[in-house]
Structure 1
């Protein structure tokens, strides 16, 4: 998942497409010299292009990749599924995989996955959401984790230890407040920042603090919201206090998502939750610390976002498609393509490798894959990402408005999840 993903559509409800019956068989030899088609959304274009290019360079089989604008991706998948014209392989925001799987869009690849010697090391959150009724339909494609970044130069100027980032959410708030009080007089520096008008930003950055505290934000079935009780309400209060004290930056309340990660690279923010994929995009001369997101009093977790990938149920070349997919999670692809570019790896057993070991921050990020979560709900998008959905109203009242309305708004979340 990426917090800026606009989610609107009640996906594929009218589709009756069912998976082909042969999907559970073990993989046969890939067709020699076959060309398979693949779709991905623009949000994961860079990683997909690197994997496809490396595969095409070293294999007789070839992959023809089509990148579709992220905003248009779900409607394109729905239209292609209805016409039975899906590509051989398609990736999807991991949050929406259960919806696609329930509609029969992916081929059952259980036996193929189970034959992989490292199947137990595949990113557990992605694998969980790609499994339905004990059968596997997708594998991890790209991963994006939520972590805390802190600006070491600003910490030092504010009198904080630049090598010691926050280990609790309360400490996060104290450090952000110190940076703001010491350096924020001219309005150019703020203690922290977050996307205050962005539903996806809240789930990506606030929910890990709940998981780190040993709690959940929903029941396992994704039909009941737990966002009206501690520790979620404790997390809301900590951020509300930061906002009330003016520590969060002038545009936090209005931030809808597109620019929420743009202030930290400019050296304007002391400490804030960020997508792990932005680490490689930071200015080379900026001294940045990375820490796991913690609960109010400790623990650590992360929102494991990104994309999963599977073979379409209508593919005429499932063996060739699997030859490519299985290669993408091989040692070669994960280390020489993904790790080499500082991407988060899809396998927990490769978290420390010859490239990541050069940067302890990358090792830390990779180590969080097995500790994080990806929440499951069939109606996740309509409930939590949609700007008109009930979650954003609840979060904004909890942080900026009347917190007494949270129980009523939580009931609206339940209603949405259960439709």
Structure 2
């Protein structure tokens, strides 16, 4: 899987002096004279390499200023940012998993670009979840860079073979379970085909694919401040119960319980899975001959939502080239970049007003995915990494007990999640 959902929070690790933080819309130091082209530096993690490279290449080919991109392995990215921040050697521009952006803003790593964003004619059309997490105390620090949404994929060929309507995917989580069960019962006798699959030993996989069902039901998984866990409440309990039933009835693949994340999206493209939650970015990686349906993730009885993941991007507080850096960043969310670079390659767009552009209009599935950007959520918590992504954290223990073990332990484990969020 190209998109890694794990990471460690940097709260309490990153330090910058107040002098390095810059001011609203200004530079982080004395700016380079503007009498010639400027080359700015940019860092991104390997998970978003393809999109970042395309944007940089398109910008460099059409502008005098240039961007020098460095791609860092995803597992090494946050330690590299921490080390560079401590040494005041951050690049001019850097992207980050949107989940961890609140850590960076709270530690003063990004330049305040509130006034510059306010001047954009489409400021209200930028991906709302990403903009929310890039805002601190009413000031804005980042723009959406790449987006990855959670959706349900279904295999139309398997549906047809199992006697299901290949053009009708699930509209509720209960229907999801019914259709997956039908696939298993009709086609799973040889052990090669399975009704569904999920990352049962992957904290990030759970939040990315289970939480949207809670949101679709009109509930929440945390309080708005990200300091109290609500994962023992009725909506989350209902979602866990449905997935537990699928596992106990052997509708999931045999390695579901052990799946730690790296290979959880690898079985569907082989034609082995009937229906399952997947990252939207995997649509472009599917075999051309596969007939695939895509639909929003629903709650037990309906509704729709998505986990809006991906990366945000900002200007470092220590940059010497804030104007050149903003020229590049603002261009990445322009009509030209969003349509001719992102949409042309079937990427999810950072702007809600461009969902049905000329490229995505060729594929109704892409239009649907783009439309979900305005409906989805990205949870806010300063201690998200340690709590929900860390394999040793309390969330994974809770999820595994709820799906595979002793559900009676959930209230106690939920209290541990809250404790972790408040540390």
Determine the structure 2 residue equivalent to 1:88: 92
- Report deviation, 1:24: 2.8
Alpha-carbon shift at residue 12 of structure 1 (Å): 4.6
Given the alignment, which residue of 370, 377, 387 partners 2:374?
370
Tell me the CA shift for residue 11 of structure 1: 3.9
**Matched-pair contact (CA < 8 Å) for 1:176–1:192:** yes
Aligned to 2:6: 6
For 2:310, the equivalent position in structure 1 comes to 306
1:109 is matched with which residue?
113
Tell me if structure 2 keeps the 8 A contact 1:30–1:320.
no
- Residues 215 and 49 (structure 1), Cα distance of their counterparts in 2 relative to 1, 3 Å cut: same
Distance 1:211 1:149 in 2: 19
Preserved contact between residue 21 and residue 317 of structure 2 (Cα < 8 Å): yes
The normalised TM-score by structure 2 is: 0.97
Contact 2:13 2:82 in 1 (8 A): no
Aligned pairs (5 A) from 1:124-163: 124-163=128-167
Q: What per-residue deviation string (whole Å, max 9, x for no partner) do you get for residues 105-133 of structure 1?
A: 00000000000000000000000000000
Contact 2:16 / 2:85 at 8 angstroms: preserved in 1? no
Give how far 1:230 is off. Answer: 1.1
- Residues 414, 387 of structure 1: alpha-carbon distance in 2 compared, 3 angstrom cutoff: same
Q: What secondary structure does 2:381 align onto?
A: coil
Match of 1:244 in 2: 248
In the alignment, which residue of structure 1 is the partner of 2:295?
291
Count of matched residue pairs: 418
The aligned runs of 1:218-237 (5 Å cut-off) are: 218-237=222-241
The yes-or-no answer on 1:22 pairing with 2:26 is no
What residue in structure 2 maps to residue 354 of structure 1? 358
State the shift of 1:198 in Å: 0.1
Q: What is the rounded CA distance, in whole Å, between the counterparts of 2:161 and 2:94 in structure 1?
A: 48
What is the Cα deviation at residue 323 of structure 1? 0.2
Q: In 1, Cα distance between the equivalents of 2:367 and 2:121?
A: 23
Three-state SS of the structure 1 residue aligned to 2:376 is coil
CA RMSD of aligned residues (A): 1.6
What are the superposed Cα offsets for residues 357-389 of structure 1, whole Å, 9 maximum, x if unpaired? Answer: 000000000000000000000000000000000
Is the 2:297–2:305 Cα contact (8 Å) retained in structure 1? yes
Instruction: Report SS of the residue matched to 2:277.
Output: strand
* Distance in 2 of aligned mates of 1:127 and 1:10: 20
Residue 23 of structure 1 and its aligned partner are, at CA, apart by 3.4
Q: 1:29 to 1:361 in 2, by over 3 A?
A: farther
SS at match of 1:250: coil
Q: Secondary structure at the match of 1:191?
A: coil
**Greater mean alpha carbon deviation, residues 79-88 or residues 3-12:** 3-12
Contact 1:176 1:271 in 2 (8 A): yes
| Structure 2: segments with no counterpart, 5+ residues | none
- Structure 1: runs of 5 or more not aligned: none
Alignment of 1:190 with 2:194, yes or no, is: yes
SS in 2 for 1:99: helix
Alpha carbons 2:352, 2:374 under 8 Å: kept: yes
Q: Deviations over 1:119-160 (max 9, x none)?
A: 000000000000000000000000000000000000000000
Give the corresponding residue for 1:411.
Answer: 415
Determine whether 1:204 maps to 2:205. Answer: no
Q: Under a length normalisation based on structure 1, what TM-score does the superposition of the two structures give?
A: 0.98
Maintained 8 Å contact 2:184/2:251: yes
| 3-state SS, counterpart of residue 243 of structure 2 | helix
Aligned to 2:48: 44
Deviation per CA, 1:327-347: give whole Å up to 9, x if none.
000000000000000000000
Structure 2 CA distance for aligned equivalents of residues 283 and 3 of structure 1: 18
Q: CA deviation at 1:16?
A: 3.5
CA distance in 1, matches of 2:220, 2:75: 29
**Residues in 2 aligned to 1:249 and 1:30: alpha-carbon distance in whole angstroms:** 60
Q: Distance in 2 between matches of 1:122 and 1:11?
A: 26
Contact 2:219–2:235 under 8 Å retained in 1: yes
